[in-house]
Structure formats: C-alpha cells, structure tokens
Structure 1
Amino acid sequence: MTWEVLSMIGTIAFAISGAIVAMEEEYDILGVYILGIVTAFGGGAVRNVLIGVPVSILWQQQTLFLIAFIAMTIVYLFPQKMLPHWQRWGNFFDALGLSAFAIQGALYAVQMNRPLSAVIVAAVLTGSGGGMIRDVLAGRKPLVLRDEIYAVWAIVAGIAVGTGIAHSSISLYVLFVIVATLRILSYTYNWKLPNKSLKAGN
C-alpha cells in the first residue's frame, strides 16, 4: 500500500509540475501533456535501465497514466486568472514528487536486493530524473545541477531506506514528509551547496 500511495503522489505531483512548466514556457496543449508525462515517468524509466528492470514495465501502469492525464487536464483547464497561483505552487508539487519518487525508487532497489550504493542511485534518479528531463526539454538549467539543494534530499531518502532506518509504513510516510519539507525549506530560504566558477572575476 505504501508503494502504491507514493507512486500516486509522485505521479500526480510531477505531472502537475511538468504541466505548469510547459504553460510557463507557453507550450501548446500537446506540449503540456508530453512534458507532464515525461516528468512523471522519465525518472522511473532511467532508474529501470540502470538497476536492470525492463523499461516496458512502465507501460503496465495504465492507472497511473490515467491519473497523470486527469491531473494535467485539470491544471490546463484552470481559469487564466488562477494560473499565476498555480505557478507559485510549482516548486511545492516538485518537492512532493521528489520526495515520493526518491523513496519509491529506493524501495524498488531494496526489494531487488541491490547494495546501498544502488539504492541511493535509484532514489536520486527516480526522484530527480523526470525533473531533469523536463527542465532540458523546457530549455532550463536542471535543478539538480545547480548549486540549489535538490538531489541531496533524494540521497537522504535513499540512505534512510537503504540502511533500514525507514522500513515500516509509518516511518516511510514520516520520511516522505521530512524530505519534502527539507526541499521546501531549501528553496524558500535559498539554501545552496558550495560551488566554484571558472569564469574570470568569480
């Protein structure tokens, strides 16, 4: 049940996030759906390739595809005057998707008896892979590659699941809230990782 709930939360959150980015970039309705689907399922596809799961399993998730389609349609049909409010919620939905999918990806790797390193990689790719593809298709610098703290929270989720700190349903939901909250705090208060520029004068 925990797995299914996290999958649903992540799918809805990232589908909405992708749709919002597409509308910010003034894509047409087809672009909105494509970017939303890529955001919601891209991370899982990359994860499956790297940990040895057939990518074709994604096509067995018809219910999640339908849920993503409905979520994107609702956002697209919102009145124009309400869309600026949705834009401000874009980072919030992205944080929910990051947390839910990072935990789900880690759980997937644990169930396949992968080592801790693979669990962490699965968490990062599932949590941030779709967002990276979304940003690239939207012509934006991927969040995960900026000095802004993003993938670190997926790593935290992977470590917590991979080491057994979070294993029960309750502890996984607590971890979901913690990771999402940390991501929200990091962009709200502009927490950043150290970076070094090779540009002259920096």
Structure 2
Amino acid sequence: MVWDVLNVIGTIAFAISGAIIAMEVKYDIIGTYALGMITAFGGGAVRNLLIGIPIENLWQQTPLFIIALITITIVFLLPAETVHRMKKWNLFDAIGLSAFAVQGGMHAYSNDLPILAIMFSAAITGAGGGIIRDVLAQQKPIVFQKEVYLFWAMLAGFIIGMGWAEKPYQLYILFGVILVLRVMSYRLGWCLPIRTVTKLQEN
C-alpha cells in the first residue's frame, strides 16, 4: 500500500514539475508531454537498469502512465499565473524527490541489497528523473550544484537501509521529514561545500 501511494504521489509531482519546466523553456505541447513523462518515470527506469531489474517492468504501469498524461494535460491548460504560483518553493519537485527516494529505498531493501545499493537506489529514483529533465531543458542539473538536494534522497536510503523505517507509518513519516527538509533547505538557502578552480590565463 505504501509503495502504491508513494508511486502515485511521486508520479503526479514529477509530471507537474517536468511540465512546468517544459513550459518555462517554451517547449511545444509534444515537448511538454515528453519532459513531463521523462521526469516522472526516468528515475525508476535508470534504477531498474543499474540494479538489474528488467526494463520491461517499466511498461507494466499503465495506470501510472494515464495519471501522468492527465496531470500534464491539466498543467498545460492552466492559466500562466497559476503555473507560476505552482512553481513557488519548488514544492512539486520536493514532493517527487521525497516520494521516489523512499520508494527507491524500499525497492532495494526488499531485494536484500547492501546499504550502499539502497542509498544509491533511493538517490537515483528520487533524483534521476530531475537530472534527465534538466539536461533536456538545457539547464544545469540542480542535483550537481551546491544546493542540498541529492543528500536528502541518500539520507532516506540510509534510514531505510539501517532498518529504522519498515512499518507503513514510519515510511510515511520519513516521506514527510524528507519533504520538509528539502523545502527548508531550498527556502533557507542551505548549501553543501563547493570548490571552484579558476582557469589560469595562458601567456
């Protein structure tokens, strides 16, 4: 039940996030649907490939595909002012990250994978779709910048891998905690350490 609920939440949230980004960069309707779908399902597809799950499992999610298509259609038809308001706080991106991070961690944990694999599964499921979205939108992926993003997905995977969140209510609490932390880190400007190297001028 937790798996299904998080799957629906993450799919809707990332479909909205992808569609909004597509509209911001002025993609046409096909581009909007493509970016919304890739954002919603890209992370799970990459996870399946990297931990050895048959990729055809991705296509056995017809209800989720329908939900994503309906969600993208609604976003595309909304007034521009409403779409701008929806982007405030990056809330839908945070919801998608949190839901899929917990779901990805659950998936790896149920397959008795080691804790590093569980953390990786949580990270790539939570952030993979967003990475692909940003690349296709010709933007720098926020995952690889100083903003705290991927860390929260890895934290979810660590907690699940340690066996500290197994019961449904614990997993829902974990989802809520990761969501709050991601929104707080965005709003308060929390950053991870960053180091840049200045290119030397040649004589």
TM over 0.5: yes
Letter in 1 for 2:20: I
The 5 Å alignment of 1:62-77 reads: 62-77=62-77
Residue of structure 2 in register with 1:167 after alignment? 166
Report the alpha carbon displacement of residue 80 of structure 1 after superposing the two structures with TM.
2.9
Post-superposition CA distance 1:70-127 (Å, at most 9, x none)? 11111111123322212325x1000000000001011111111111110000000000
Separation in 1, partners of 2:80, 2:50: 41
Residue of structure 1 in register with 2:190 after alignment? 191
Letter in 1 for 2:36: G
Residue of structure 2 in register with 1:136 after alignment? 135
Residue of structure 1 in register with 2:123 after alignment? 124
TM-score using structure 2 length? 0.96
Separation in 1, partners of 2:14, 2:28: 18
Residue of structure 2 in register with 1:38 after alignment? 38
Residue of structure 2 in register with 1:156 after alignment? 155
Separation in 2, partners of 1:83, 1:124: 27
Report the alpha carbon displacement of residue 172 of structure 1 after superposing the two structures with TM.
0.3
Separation in 1, partners of 2:81, 2:142: 27
Residue of structure 2 in register with 1:24 after alignment? 24
- The answer for unaligned runs of 5 or more in structure 1 is none
The 5 Å alignment of 1:95-114 reads: 95-114=94-113
Residue of structure 1 in register with 2:181 after alignment? 182
Residue of structure 2 in register with 1:80 after alignment? 80
Letter in 1 for 2:49: V
Q: Percent of aligned pairs with the same residue?
A: 52
Separation in 2, partners of 1:111, 1:167: 10
Separation in 2, partners of 1:18, 1:26: 12
Moved over 4 A (4+): none
Residue of structure 2 in register with 1:60 after alignment? 60
Letter in 1 for 2:149: Y
Number of residue pairs aligned between Structure 1 and Structure 2: 200
Report the alpha carbon displacement of residue 200 of structure 1 after superposing the two structures with TM.
5.5
- Which secondary structure state, in structure 2, belongs to the residue aligned with residue 167 of structure 1? coil
- Which secondary structure state, in structure 2, belongs to the residue aligned with residue 53 of structure 1? coil
- The answer for unaligned runs of 5 or more in structure 2 is none
Separation in 1, partners of 2:136, 2:196: 25
